[in-house]
Amino acid sequence: MAGRLAPFLAVPLAILVFLLPGWLGGVHGAFTVIAIMAIAAYGLDIVVSDLGEVSLAHTVFFAAGAYATGLLATRLGANGWLTLAGALAAGTLIALVLGLITLALREFVFSLVTYAATVVAAAVAHNWDVLGGSDGVSGIPTLDLPLGPLRLGATNDVQLWPFAFGLLLLTLYAVRQFRRSRLGAMAMMVHLNPRLATMSGIDVRRVRLGVFVLSAPFSAVAGWLYAYQRAYVGPDLFETYFLVLMLTAVVLVGRRRLLAPLIGTALIIGQERFLSFGGDINAIILGGALVLALAVLPGGLDGLFRRAFARTAQPAPHSDRRPVAQS
Amino acid sequence: MNLVQQLINGIVLGHGYALIAVGWTVLLGVARLVNFGHGQIYMLAAFVTWWAVAGLGLPYPVAILAAMLAGVLIGLLMQAAMLRLTFAQDLVSIMIVTLGFGHMMRGIAGLVFGGHPQVLETPLSYIDFEIAGAWVTAQDLAVVLVGIAAFALLHFGLERGTLGRTARMVAEDPKLAQLAGIDVKRVYFAVFAFEGAAVALAAAMVAPRTPILTSIGFEEVIVTFVVVVLGGIGSVAGSYAAGLGLGIFTALFGGFVSPAYATTAAFGVLIVVLVLRPSGLAMRAGGR
């Protein structure tokens, strides 16, 4: 019911969100970071929600995008288009290699190996001079996207916000299209019933590899924008913070809901930016949210609301007007 | 001469590694559970030991007991929160939840113990003597002895005793075990309490060798993976051998090739093993 209305609601909602940081008194920085981390989380979301595997390597794709951007921009003076291509190539290539390595692995072992990959990548970033070692890459120039006679670019968060927002919309569209695509349907089948998938002639390994590799560019492109937003890239990108942030964003609200990772990211970063209690307590809140979401609320916040509504608002079908009404 | 020193370093390091992995050996090998907050329990226990010695002025052995008690408490709390997932044998969710716990513990440690690095001085670390031209401290010897003792106990308690048999039965088929009159919940709690106590003991023994920071623990988790997986899941003797081997490998690699990449190299080996022989880790053949 809400599915048919969604496209008409989406446009005013998008405009509203786009104008929101200005109305709230110029909080473009926080909104930009929310958009960036949400895009990164969507990469993980496809793998977790659709493929049913928990990848702990998506911080690597995110960092790969950021590092490629930082290195290309500072060492070669590359513009935004080149760094974008570099970030996408770096993330996708690493995902392809890792995907081929982990092709036969499932569930816990898959997660363990992807975690191992993250640890190895972190050690390499810390120690390899080409990547700037533990100092990282600093002094990244501002975003610059020459388009024929036009010179698009962003020198501060206010100017960066439209890019982040546009990229976020693009990501939402891509994820939605993915879930409606053949590959998306096959991924769900492989997830829910691998035997039936095999019997139906689906090449399970190919689907798994396809979805895994497809998920990487999302996280990598987020890294691309993050490098410009922070003007610095360093091995701190491999810290568990980003991993826990992405995982929490994906599981907090609910699985296979288009807006869930975005709302999850907004809740987490919103708390950190506007309701911060200092780094230590923020870490406790973030970790606690992850524990709660999985151990106490199996369906995430969405499941909680559904149960609450099912109990209290039984006779009122209009209670179904949540913005997350479509898949 | 240098080789002897590195070898002895490696043996000490290896016993430390094996000791750090004891909890996981039982957790994964016997109960088929995981704990990615392992490294953060190590970190918190190291801080508790330091605080008991430097802050409260307790003798070192009492501080070790205090740390182990803290480890038990953390283990019980974690298991209490995850009981539903444990019964469902939902390893992937358990993994993520324990990652969340690790993140929380890091915040708690920062809040309680602050962000400054601390050094734990034990009376044993002041005593040093020479073996075959290489210097070791009494603390190093204690690590080796406690390591050997822990594995001997584990071997007799787990592979010979009824305790191990009960835990194994629970892991194999929780429902059947329940029907057979075993209090499954208690076994799960006991296993997690043991995991907490074991890693806390390891922290109290090994942490005096390095500065104590809220960011430590990452490396310990890596080491644990390598030891438990390379040693063969659930094999007590295998874990001991893998810990020792990894310690000697790390010392030699660090001493003669590159100290920065020593654990990374070990982890590279782990990835190769996991990929070539995923069955070595098969929980239930092919997952679900």
Q: What is the pLDDT of residue A87?
A: 93
Q: What is the pLDDT of residue B77?
A: 94
Residues 273-302 (A) with a CB less than 8 A from some CB of B: 279-291, 294-296, 298
Q: At how many degrees (to 10) do helices A28-45 and A2-23 cross?
A: 150
At residue A233, the 3 state secondary structure works out as: strand
Interface mutation target, options B44, B84, B94, B99, chain A, most CBs of A under 10 Å: B99
The answer to whether B81 contacts A124, with C-beta atoms less than 8 Å apart, is no
Q: CA-to-CA distance for A223 and B270, rounded, in angstroms?
A: 28
The answer to whether A251 contacts B278, with C-beta atoms less than 8 Å apart, is no
Q: Does B272 touch chain A (CB under 8 A)?
A: no
Q: Does B100 touch chain A (CB under 8 A)?
A: yes
Q: CA-to-CA distance for B26 and B158, rounded, in angstroms?
A: 9
Q: CA-to-CA distance for B81 and B155, rounded, in angstroms?
A: 30
The answer to whether B96 contacts A108, with C-beta atoms less than 8 Å apart, is no
Chain A CB contacts of B286 under 8 Å are 106
Among partner residues A116, A127, A296, which is closest to B261 by beta-carbon distance? A127
The answer to whether A109 contacts B281, with C-beta atoms less than 8 Å apart, is yes
Backbone angles phi, psi at B189, to 5 degrees: -65, -40
Q: CA-to-CA distance for B81 and B83, rounded, in angstroms?
A: 6
Chain B CB contacts of A107 under 8 Å are 91-92, 283, 287-288
Chain B CB contacts of A119 under 8 Å are 218, 222, 264, 267
**Is the domain defined by B2-281 classed in CATH 2.40.160?**
no
The answer to whether B107 contacts A295, with C-beta atoms less than 8 Å apart, is no
Q: Which domains does chain A have, with CATH numbers?
A: 2-320 (1.10.3470)
At residue A299, the 3 state secondary structure works out as: coil
Residue ranges of chain B whose pLDDT lies below 50: 1, 282-288
Interface mutation target, options A58, A112, A252, A285, chain B, most CBs of B under 10 Å: A112
pLDDT in tens, chain A (327 residues): 455 667 778 888 888 888 888 788 878 888 999 999 999 999 999 998 888 888 999 999 999 999 999 999 888 888 888 999 999 999 999 999 988 888 777 777 788 888 888 888 888 888 888 888 788 888 888 888 888 777 787 788 888 888 999 999 999 999 988 888 888 888 888 888 888 888 888 888 888 899 999 999 999 999 999 999 988 988 888 888 899 999 999 888 877 788 889 888 988 888 888 888 888 888 888 888 888 888 887 666 777 777 777 766 554 444 444 444 344
Place of tokens 């969405």: A302
Q: Does B270 touch chain A (CB under 8 A)?
A: yes
Interface mutation target, options B82, B94, B96, B218, chain A, most CBs of A under 10 Å: B96
Q: What is the pLDDT of residue A5?
A: 67
Q: CA-to-CA distance for B287 and B283, rounded, in angstroms?
A: 7
Question: Is B228 within 8 Å of B32 (Cβ atoms)?
Answer: no
> Quick one: DSSP state of residue A129?
G
Q: Does B286 touch chain A (CB under 8 A)?
A: yes
Count of other CB atoms within 10 angstroms of residue B116: 9
Q: Does A76 touch chain B (CB under 8 A)?
A: no
